[in-house]
């Protein structure tokens, strides 16, 4: 409960009460008296009048200033981006006008958050596409030239050097494969070509193909249509969650599911690995997943009870919130 002296309503009441009490005290104690000697009846009348004035003032001020106090309290809890609770206000008084202005401010903040989130997500994906294109067109082509050159040198080299050149060529080929894999992860063309479910299935297959645990996939029927931005966020969160499983969890079994949840979808990645220690702060990966979820109005929950970790993403329908 807020202190009395921090409420605008009570501040005004106390100020008015102090002024009225001072006025009555002056009337009672100064030479300007109602009668030459203050009698009990006069004092009772003055005190009763003071009480009545204070009561009427309190009632009038409460109706006028209560919305102001509500707005003050709610403004202290508004989150970045204009996420706040809506208040109720009736009439056309100053308090009601203040509440409506507060609601208009929240709407403007939420609108700006939506537009800025869309711009941020688009900028992130555009940068990923640019890097993927440069990896594929420049680094990939350079490594291809190196492979062809090593093959020609190997064919003309003395027999005792061919084994070493073959090792170098295989190392370059492995590097080329890594570059192509990174470029593919940065720009998941399958997401644009075949849709979210196919992209998630390909992602799960790649995890097992590159030495990770087998991923069991479950896709619910009749999933609602998501906006492009929301699909990108779902894919990226699944990608980061599976990457964390491969790098840190030491899991033997992973389950990936995409199911309907209310009017949106729920993505869940659960493993049977070592789990997270109690009180472990979010690393860069988890923080990035939370930021991406917020970009489309979604929520991310991470549960870890001893063995195993579950990452759950809830995304509403309609793209960026």
* pLDDT in single tens digits along all 321 residues of the chain: 344 335 666 767 777 777 778 777 766 676 555 566 667 776 777 787 778 777 877 777 777 677 777 777 777 776 655 555 666 766 666 667 777 787 788 788 777 777 776 777 778 777 877 887 888 788 888 888 888 888 888 888 888 888 888 888 888 888 888 887 787 777 776 777 778 898 899 888 888 887 788 899 999 988 888 888 888 889 889 988 998 888 887 888 899 999 998 888 999 999 988 877 666 666 777 888 888 888 788 889 988 866 788 999 999 875 444
Answer for the pair 62, 9: CB distance below 8 angstroms, yes or no. yes
Residue whose token pair is 């291809």: 144
CA–CA–CA angle 247, 250, 254 (5° rounding): 95
pLDDT of residue 109: 79
Q: Which helix (H) or strand (E) holds 258?
A: strand 253-261
pLDDT of residue 269: 93
Give the separation between CA 81 and CA 89, rounded to whole angstroms. 23
Q: Burial of 82 by CB count in 10 Å (0-12 exposed, 13-18 middle, 19+ buried)?
A: middle
Answer for the pair 240, 207: CB distance below 8 angstroms, yes or no. no
**What is the token pair recorded at 288?**
């990035």
Buried/exposed code over 225-254 (b: 16+ C-beta within 10 A; e: otherwise)? ebbebbbbbbbbbbbbbbebbbebbebeeb
Domain ranges of the chain: 113-186, 189-315
Answer for the pair 99, 71: CB distance below 8 angstroms, yes or no. yes
**What is the token pair recorded at 189?**
């063309």
In 3D, which of 233, 247, 227 has the Cα closest to residue 290? Answer: 233
Buried/exposed code over 29-64 (b: 16+ C-beta within 10 A; e: otherwise)? eeeeeeeeeeeeeeeeebeeeeeeeeeeebeebeeb
Answer for the pair 232, 125: CB distance below 8 angstroms, yes or no. yes
The set of residues, in sequence order, having a beta carbon less than 8 Å from that of 65 and lying 6+ positions away, is: 8, 9, 12, 95
pLDDT of residue 4: 37
Give the separation between CA 179 and CA 172, rounded to whole angstroms. 10
CATH number of the domain at 189-315, out of 2.40.160.20, 3.30.565.10, 2.70.98.10, 1.10.10.60? Answer: 3.30.565.10
pLDDT of residue 9: 67
Give the separation between CA 22 and CA 57, rounded to whole angstroms. 16
Q: What is the pTM of this model?
A: 0.58
pLDDT of residue 313: 94
pLDDT of residue 36: 63
Q: Which helix (H) or strand (E) holds 113?
A: helix 94-134
């Amino acid at each position: 409960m807020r202190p009395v002296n921090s409420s605008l309503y009570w501040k005004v009441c106390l100020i008015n009460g102090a002024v009225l009490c001072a006025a009555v005290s002056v009337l009672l104690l100064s030479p300007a008296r109602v009668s030459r000697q203050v009698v009990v009846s006069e004092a009772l009348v003055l005190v009763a009048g003071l009480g009545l004035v204070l009561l009427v003032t309190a009632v009038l001020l409460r109706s006028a200033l209560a919305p102001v106090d509500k707005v003050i309290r709610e403004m202290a809890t508004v989150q970045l981006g204009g996420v706040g609770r809506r208040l109720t206000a009736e009439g056309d008084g100053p308090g009601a006008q203040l509440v409506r202005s507060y609601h208009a401010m929240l709407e403007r903040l939420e609108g700006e958050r939506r537009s800025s989130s869309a711009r941020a997500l688009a900028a992130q994906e555009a940068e990923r596409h640019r890097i993927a294109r440069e990896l594929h067109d420049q680094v990939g082509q350079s490594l291809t030239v190196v492979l062809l050159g090593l093959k020609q040198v190997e064919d003309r080299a003395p027999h005792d050097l061919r084994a070493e050149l073959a090792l170098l060529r295989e190392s370059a080929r492995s590097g080329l494969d890594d570059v192509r894999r990174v470029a593919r992860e940065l720009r998941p063309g399958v997401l644009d070509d075949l849709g979210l479910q196919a992209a998630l299935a390909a992602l799960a297959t790649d995890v097992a193909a590159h030495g990770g645990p087998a991923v069991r996939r479950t896709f619910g029927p009749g999933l609602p249509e998501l906006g492009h931005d929301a699909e990108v966020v779902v894919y990226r969160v699944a990608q980061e969650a599976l990457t964390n499983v491969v790098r840190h969890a030491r899991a033997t079994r992973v389950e990936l599911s995409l199911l309907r949840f209310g009017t949106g979808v729920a993505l869940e990645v659960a493993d049977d690995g070592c789990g997270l220690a109690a009180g472990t702060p979010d690393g860069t990966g988890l923080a990035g997943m939370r930021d991406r979820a917020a970009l489309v109005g979604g929520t991310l929950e991470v549960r870890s009870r001893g063995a195993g970790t579950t990452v759950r993403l809830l995304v509403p329908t309609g793209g960026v919130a």
